[in-house]
Amino acid sequence: MKKDIIKLEVKTEEKNRLDLYLSKNLKDLSRSQIKKIIVAGHLKINDQTIIEPSKKISMGDSIVIQVNNTGEDRIVPQKLNFEIIHEDENVVLINKPPGLVVHPGAGNLDYTLVNGLLYLFKNNLSDLGGNLRPGIVHRIDKDTSGVIVVAKNNYSHSKLSSQFEKHTIKRKYEALIWGVLRPLNGKIENKIGRSNYNRQKMAVRINKGKNAITNYKTIKVFQNKNVPTISLVELVLETGRTHQIRVQMANKGNPVLGDKIYGGQKLKFKNIDLELEKKIKSFDRQALHAKYLEFFHPKNGNIVKYQANQPEDFKNLIDILKKLSKT
């Protein structure tokens, strides 16, 4: 049985219960698993063993958790097909294809980006994220495509994590959304938290939640008598909340095309081009692509910029919208 050590430093001024804080920050462990770890005496705060899940934590507290892992022995290197945009001795930039999960989790230990990274780079990846997430500094949704930065060593991981935390990394996305955003260009600023009605979903909240800021501009509006109104938009994140773009677009009444969770579209069209209708109905994911990442390189501090090409399904849908909108 392996033993994994997880280290966290509390960086929020809000006083939280220990178990609630950990459940928000350790996505690979359920709340019941976290409670068992605490009660069993496998957690320390500021070098003192804590056995009370309801213990209040404060900003600056150092948390060390010992996790017994059995399933992690099954995480094996696997040859997968994804594009490497850039590689050096410190970082790797990946263009993640849609449908690929970033890292293993409960019941899903195979055919993730991590399995592919282990096949290519073996032990030459950071281990700050634990055995389930070697090299993984951030992630994007399974069905979202685009650029991800991976750390090859712990120094690079730490430097990159700090940039994500301070929101100094520039992230641009492209999306196809239903309708037209009003105004065409602008900023969305609200709070996002867990939905009161479905804990698997996020929602815009009035009082609770974390600040979420997205800048957007409309690139092109596609519409005519045979084309339902669809917009291609560019979105620049100032924050990185779970499902941020998808939640905010849906809240404005312009959900991302193909979004099964936040979309709310029944896909019943009138007078639509038959080829376009087939393309839309067969587009089996949200039309969201992480196209651009800009950050300070962890080794020399220089600003570096990387762009990921659109996947074929996304590009083909845009091409047919452009073609039909001209007629």
Q: Name the residues annotated as catalytic.
A: 141
**Measured distance CA(266)–CA(146) in Å, rounded:** 27
Find out whether 262 and 243 touch, Cβ atoms under 8 Å: yes
Q: How far apart are CA 22 and CA 34, in angstroms?
A: 7
C-alpha 272/C-alpha 317 separation (Å) is: 14
Residue 302 is classified by DSSP as -
CB atoms within 10 A of CB 106: 12
State CA 58 to chain mean position distance.
27
- In this structure, is the dihedral angle defined by the CA atoms of residues 24, 28, 33 and 36, taken in order, positive or negative? negative
Give the relative orientation of helices 312-325 and 274-282 as an angle to the nearest 10 degrees.
160
How far apart (Å, rounded) are the C-alpha atoms in residues 181 and 325? 18
- Is residue 221 within 8 Å of residue 229, measured between CB atoms? yes
Q: Are 211 and 228 in contact (CB under 8 A)?
A: no
Angle ∠(194,191,295) on CA atoms, nearest 5: 100
Can you tell me the distance from the alpha carbon of 133 to that of 145, in angstroms, rounded to the nearest whole number?
Answer: 19
Locus of tokens 């997880």: 6
Compute the distance between CA of residue 181 and CA of residue 314 in angstroms, rounded to an integer: 20
Task: Give residue for tokens 């301070």.
Answer: 166
